[in-house]
Amino acid sequence: MRIKELIRDGVISCRSTDPITCAVAKMYMHNVGSVLVIDEDEKPVGIFTERDLVRIVAEGISLDTPLMKVMSRKLITANTSESVISAAMKMIENNIRHLPVVEEGRAVGMVSIRDLVRALMAQELSYP
């Protein structure tokens, strides 16, 4: 199974200059645990996750702070033709729960560890 089979339409994102509240509102609205942070050319430059939010609250950082100052910059990505197993291994090796999916340098989706577990379980259950 390939990653392209798991991604949903659209990428939930905020610009790097948007405040933290933009990311939190979109995470709440879409019931997701992360938001891709993009630059003015709509290329991914970072990710903002629930873990980042916990750190920010614990450190007392203002929620008006631009995402570029608090996002995770180490962006681990998958491509659409990558296998689910390969993506899962990246997530395990890097201790991450969300993986942006890119194609030709542009974000086309996001997969979570939950998405991968569901796919792998479905695949396992479909074999005799």
What is the reported pTM?
A: 0.87
Per-residue pLDDT tens listing for the chain (128 residues)? 889 888 876 789 999 999 999 999 999 999 999 999 998 888 899 999 999 999 999 999 999 999 999 999 989 999 999 999 999 999 999 999 999 999 887 889 999 988 888 888 887 776 65
Taking the C-alpha atoms of residue 101 and residue 44, their distance in angstroms, rounded to an integer, is 10
Tell me what pLDDT residue 86 has.
93
Tell me what pLDDT residue 128 has.
58
Tell me what pLDDT residue 36 has.
95
Helix (H, G, I), strand (E, B) or coil at 122: helix
Taking the C-alpha atoms of residue 105 and residue 75, their distance in angstroms, rounded to an integer, is 12
Note the maximum CA span of the chain: 54
Q: Which domains does the chain have, with CATH numbers?
A: 3-126 (3.10.580.10)
